[in-house]
């Protein structure tokens, strides 16, 4: 037998592996009680959470830009939102042991395909302490243990939150080891985490493109890539201009920092004058093709790389196209297969767009911002997958499950 590895990552991975069996056996009622306890304890621990968070914020303020600092900050309202999130997860149906399919074979074998927990889910994410509670709650409900590795700028907040979540597990006679968090901030700890073969069944990186690239390149674990979105709005020749303006403004401006915000605008040349005449988006910095700059004199000229950028800000590339086909080709070339939307009243064009665009969500006359677990009716999400294996688009509880086949025979053997 190989010598036991004793680092924090390996110790906690072994604990999580064991706790995963207990997590898988928890009945729905117990899981829901734990989730409600987690919510209550978080609210009761408000003062401790805010104190730890204030220390994190103070330490991070000199080095973090305002947008990242904002995600780090907790206050009474945000802690309440975390707690209510856990309560909402408690209300969702249990995704475990669902019958997916029943097969009867000519040899009288009866086969059932049922959902089962993945086992151990690891999550690497940025300095956003609310993700700590969200992810732990979702993984618990999915019957899996979780190993959390949050951004080091949120270390103190996460430590306190995890302590509270584990207290709720203990209080309900469930193993606290179902929720693990890695506190070592070294790179080596991350490298170890990325290579916990046999201990982690799914690794979800949540964060910027750099983090996701690193994880994919270095990890030997099954990974679900999330959240790179160069989403396009295509204003078709046959668009309703009012809808087109409303959708473009919403897709770009309602919350520019998220992955389902639009980053690129394509406009059919026949509707360009009317559309740009109606568009009021002075707060947005456009990177536009020469033809579009005639309508957007304030725009910067677009270089090719600008069409591929995920701005995550009040900025956007713009291109005028001569046809639906050109729009589809542009999206094929520069898109990230997250969410693409066409604005059109022409049913044929709508259906062609739906059919030919390869993305997690393809939309007609709707804002790209709708690609979201809550908006899709999943009740929650742990991220948005931009890969094609396992799950695509919003990752709700169902997407955090695996399955197994139960085969019942009466002594059958193979001929």
Q: Summarize as ranges the residues that interact with its own copies (CB under 8 A).
A: 1, 21, 24-25, 103, 105, 109, 111, 116, 118-119, 197, 201-202, 216-217, 220, 222-224, 240, 242-243, 246-247, 249-251, 254, 304, 332, 341, 350, 354, 356, 358-367, 369-371, 375-377, 387-390, 392-393, 402-414
Q: Which is nearer to its own copies, 91 or 408 (CB)?
A: 408
Q: How far is the CB of 197 from its own copies (least distance, A)?
A: 7
State which residue, 148 or 251, has the beta carbon closest to its own copies: 251
| 124 or 366: CB nearest its own copies | 366
Closest CB to its own copies among residues 63, 414? 414
Long-range Cβ contact pairs of 29-32 (< 8 A, separation 24 or more): 30/172, 30/174, 31/90, 31/94, 31/140, 31/141, 31/143, 32/90, 32/91
Smallest gap from residue 69 Cβ to its own copies (A): 25
Six-digit token pair at 357? 């665009």
The DSSP symbol for 305 reads: G
Q: Under 8 Å CB-to-CB from 330, ≥6 apart: which residues?
A: 232, 266, 307, 319, 321
Any idea what the Cα angle at residue 210 is, between residues 206 and 212, rounded to 5°? 40
382: its two tokens: 């742990």
- Distance, first Cα to last Cα, the chain: 39
Q: How far is the CB of 296 from its own copies (least distance, A)?
A: 21
| Closest CB 103 distance from its own copies, rounded Å | 5
Answer yes or no: are the C-beta atoms of 260 and 310 closer than 8 Å: no
Q: Which two tokens stand for residue 307?
A: 């069409």
Taking the CA atoms of residue 319, residue 320, residue 321 and residue 326 in that order, the dihedral angle to the nearest 10 degrees is: 10
Least Å from the CB of residue 215 to its own copies = 10
Strands (E), 118-206: 120-124, 145-149, 179-181, 202-205
Q: How far apart are CB 121 and its own copies at their closest, in Å?
A: 10
**Would you say 261 or 296 has its CB closer to its own copies?**
261
Whole-angstrom distance, CA of residue 324 vs CA of residue 343: 11
Question: How big is the chain by its Cα radius of gyration, in Å?
Answer: 24
Counting every residue written for the chain, the total comes to: 415
CA pair distance 233, 353, nearest whole angstrom: 12
Encode 57-69: b = buried (16+ Cβ within 10 Å), e = exposed. Answer: beebeeebeeebb
Give the residue with the Cβ less far from its own copies, 11 or 21: 21
- Comparison of 273 and 354: residue with beta carbon closer to its own copies: 354
DSSP SS3 for 205: strand
Q: Whole-angstrom Cα distance, residue 313 to residue 262? A: 10
CB of 87 to its own copies, least distance (A): 21
Shortest Å, Cβ 34 to its own copies? 21
For its own copies, which is the closer residue by CB, 10 or 370? Answer: 370
In the complex, minimum distance from the CB of residue 102 to its own copies, in angstroms, rounded to a whole number: 11
| C-beta of 117 vs 151, nearer to its own copies | 117
CB of 225 to its own copies, least distance (A): 8
Q: Closer to its own copies by CB, 157 or 386: give it.
A: 386
């Amino acid at each position: 037998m190989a010598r036991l590895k004793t680092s924090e990552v390996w110790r906690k991975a072994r604990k999580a592996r064991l706790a995963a069996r207990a997590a898988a056996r928890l009945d729905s009622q117990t899981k829901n009680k734990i989730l409600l306890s987690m919510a209550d304890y978080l609210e009761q621990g408000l003062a401790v959470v805010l104190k730890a968070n204030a220390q994190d914020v103070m330490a991070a303020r000199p080095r973090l830009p305002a947008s990242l600092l904002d995600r780090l900050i907790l206050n009474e309202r945000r802690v309440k939102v975390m707690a209510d999130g856990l309560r909402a997860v408690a209300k969702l149906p249990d995704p475990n042991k669902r019958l997916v399919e029943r097969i009867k074979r000519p040899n009288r074998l009866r086969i059932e395909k049922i959902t089962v927990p993945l086992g151990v889910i690891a999550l690497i994410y940025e300095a956003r302490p609310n993700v700590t509670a969200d992810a732990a709650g979702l993984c618990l409900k999915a019957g899996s243990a979780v190993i959390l590795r949050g951004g080091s700028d949120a270390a103190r907040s996460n430590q306190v939150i995890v302590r509270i979540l584990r207290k709720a597990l203990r209080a309900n006679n469930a193993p606290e080891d179902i929720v693990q968090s890695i506190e070592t901030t070294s790179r080596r700890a991350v490298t170890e985490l990325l290579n916990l073969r046999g201990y982690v069944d799914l690794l979800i990186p949540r964060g910027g493109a750099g983090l996701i690239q690193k994880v994919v390149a270095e990890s030997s674990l099954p990974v679900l890539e999330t959240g790179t979105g160069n989403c396009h709005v295509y204003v078709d020749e046959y668009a309703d201009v009012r809808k087109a303006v409303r959708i473009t403004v919403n897709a770009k401006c309602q919350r520019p920092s998220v992955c389902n915000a639009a980053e690129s605008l394509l406009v059919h040349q026949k509707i360009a004058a009317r559309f740009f005449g109606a568009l009021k988006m002075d707060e947005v910095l456009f990177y536009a093709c020469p033809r579009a700059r005639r309508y957007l004199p304030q725009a910067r000229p677009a270089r090719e790389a600008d069409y591929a950028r995920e701005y995550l800000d009040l900025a956007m590339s713009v291109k005028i196209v001569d046809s639906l086909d050109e729009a589809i080709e542009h999206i094929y070339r520069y898109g990230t297969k997250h969410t693409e939307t066409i604005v059109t009243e022409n049913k044929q064009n709508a259906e062609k767009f739906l059919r030919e665009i390869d993305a997690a969500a393809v939309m007609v006359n709707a804002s790209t911002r709708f690609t979201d677990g809550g908006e899709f009716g999943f009740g929650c999400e742990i991220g948005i997958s931009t890969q094609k294996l396992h799950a695509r688009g919003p990752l709700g509880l169902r997407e955090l499950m695996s399955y197994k086949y139960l085969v019942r025979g009466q002594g059958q053997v193979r001929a």
